[in-house]
Amino acid sequence: MNEQRPEILIVEGQLICPTCGANEFSFREEHTVSCPHDVGEIVNGALQIEADYEHSPFGDVGTGENPFLECQECDEIFQIPAGLKLEFVDRL
């Protein structure tokens, strides 16, 4: 994640991959292992991330280190856009 990558585009409340144009991402962060979480739309300036607390064996989502987004189409990884708030929800 240290190399320079293009930033994710935000268009009409959705994230867009600058590499392939897809709009489906997983939220990942480092615990003991990296565990994916589905990403929804941006609502009131906060990116909706499905937490699925009852099925997470690695600790609560949002408590890990080095969070990033992974495009579901081309597998590119991106930093969380600067200033974008994260909101963890039970279900999208």
- pLDDT 10s digits, 49-66: 887 655 555 555 666 678
| 4, part of any domain | no
| 3, part of any domain | no
Residue 69's alpha-carbon distances to 24, 37, 57, in angstroms, are 10, 9, 20
Please state the rounded mean pLDDT for residues 9-14.
Answer: 91
> What mean pLDDT, rounded, does the chain reach?
79
Q: How confident is the model at residue 1 (pLDDT cuts 50, 70, 90)?
A: very low
Domain hosting residue 82, numbered range: 9-89
pLDDT at 34: 58
How many folded domains does the chain comprise? 1
The two structure tokens encoding residue 40: 């929804």
Please state the rounded mean pLDDT for residues 69-77.
Answer: 93
β pairing state of 14-16 and 25-30: unpaired
Q: What is the DSSP string of 2-69?
A: -S--PPPEEETTEEE-TTT----EEEEEESSSB--EEEEEEETTEEEEE--GGG-TT--TT-SEEEEE
pLDDT at 31: 63
Q: How confident is the model at residue 85 (pLDDT cuts 50, 70, 90)?
A: confident
